Amino acid sequence: MNRKKLLWQLPFLTLLVVGTVLIIRQQQSLPYHQNAGMVFGTTYHITYQCDSDLHQGIRDELQKVDNSLSPFNEKSIITAINQNQDVVPNEMFLDVFDKAMEISRETDGAFDITVAPLVNAWGFGFKNGLQPSRHQVDSLLRLVGYQKVSLVDGKVRKKDQRMMLDCSAIAKGYGSDVVARFLKSRGVRNYMVEIGGEIVSSGVNAQRLPWKIGVTKPTDDSLSEKGEIQSVLNVTDQAMATSGNYRNFYYKGGKKYAHTIDPKTGYPVQHSLLSATVLAKDCATADAYATSFMVLGIEKAKEVLAKHPELMAYFIYSDSTGHNAVWYSPSLKDKVKE
């Protein structure tokens, strides 16, 4: 009986094996497409394996994000909110707003989408060689604070109408997530989406190898022409984002500091962290936490990481001798290639 049963099953097993082999061969024969362009004031590069070019669909998805979150788009949702128009936010805006508020709470305000006025004031100050006065900082602090904005009956309410929202520190990551979801919806399994350095990957590259991404060394290369690599990370089936102002350092006591504004004090942070790379399940989360860690510094960032084992981080900092040093999450060890 067992032999007859086995003989009866053999044709089905053979068909299953042959079908699987054919599917694998078909997938391997599909070409890899490379699309590139500009969005959110930065560049994007997208590589994916598919039987057709999906660039137009990708552009359409990115335009949806721009129409929701770009403060430079006169017709965007966020522009309407900043102008105090009576507007009902769409799903994309609400997704990002909710995640931003969540991460603001988790980082005790280190991440804050209302901090733009302070960032602009200090940015102009650095360019002109003049720092904002204490009075200017105190005045702007009244317009900053994630607790001062909320959703009421599906609409954004601000405690002060002069407050401005800016999702730049999370929008690129969110955009990468949106494109990744679009590719998945079209049956794409192998892809790498990168928008302004924020990355989502899945499967393997054209060489049938896991996706590997370099972490750039913080240098005084103002034009970012050198692009020296500190380490290479295996980011297959991961989202990765890096925060770190490589182009604007200042020196104090022989140490190097990045120009990162603390939303709570209104002043640039003074700690040794130069670059924060975060790996997470989605890129919006990685993007926001990378920004937060640049505000918090290494020790406080480690405290946040201890509460969130789902996150992994790679930090480049200036050590006691003024040289660059590296710390990364123990769970990241197998993904790091020095």
On whether the CB atoms of residues 179 and 61 are closer than 8 A, the answer is yes
On whether the CB atoms of residues 201 and 212 are closer than 8 A, the answer is no
What is the structure's pLDDT at 22? 42
Q: Which amino acid makes up residue 187?
A: G
Q: Is the pLDDT of residue 142 over 90?
A: yes
Query: Judging by beta carbons within 10 Å of its beta carbon (0-12, 13-18, 19+), is residue 331 exposed, middle or buried?
Result: middle
3-state secondary structure of 234: strand
What is the structure's pLDDT at 214? 87
Q: Which amino acid makes up residue 136?
A: Q
More confident residue, 308 or 1: 308
Convert the pLDDT of each residue in 47-98 to its tens digit.
Answer: 999 999 999 999 999 999 999 999 999 999 999 999 999 999 999 999 999 9
Q: Is the pLDDT of residue 224 over 50?
A: no
Q: Which range (11-15, 115-119, 288-292) has the least confidence?
A: 11-15
* Per-domain residue ranges of the chain: 32-71+167-208, 76-165, 210-337
**Dmax (CA) of the chain:** 91
Helix count and strand count (H, E) for the chain? 9, 15
Backbone angles phi, psi at 165, to 5 degrees: -100, 140
CATH 3.40.50.10860 for domain 210-337, yes or no, is no
∠186-289-41 over CA atoms, to 5°? Answer: 60
| DSSP annotation of 30 | S
3-state secondary structure of 35: strand
Phi-psi sector, 208: left (phi>0), alpha (psi -120 to 50), beta: left
Query: 24: which 2 tokens?
Result: 């694998």
Q: Could you tell me what percent of the chain has a pLDDT over 90?
A: 67
> Which residues is 46 bridged to in the sheet?
35, 193
Q: Is the pLDDT of residue 1 over 80?
A: no
On whether the CB atoms of residues 326 and 211 are closer than 8 A, the answer is no
Using pLDDT thresholds of 50, 70 and 90, give the confidence band for residue 172: very high
What whole-number distance in Å separates Cα of residue 37 and Cα of residue 58? 11
CATH 3.40.190.10 for domain 76-165, yes or no, is no
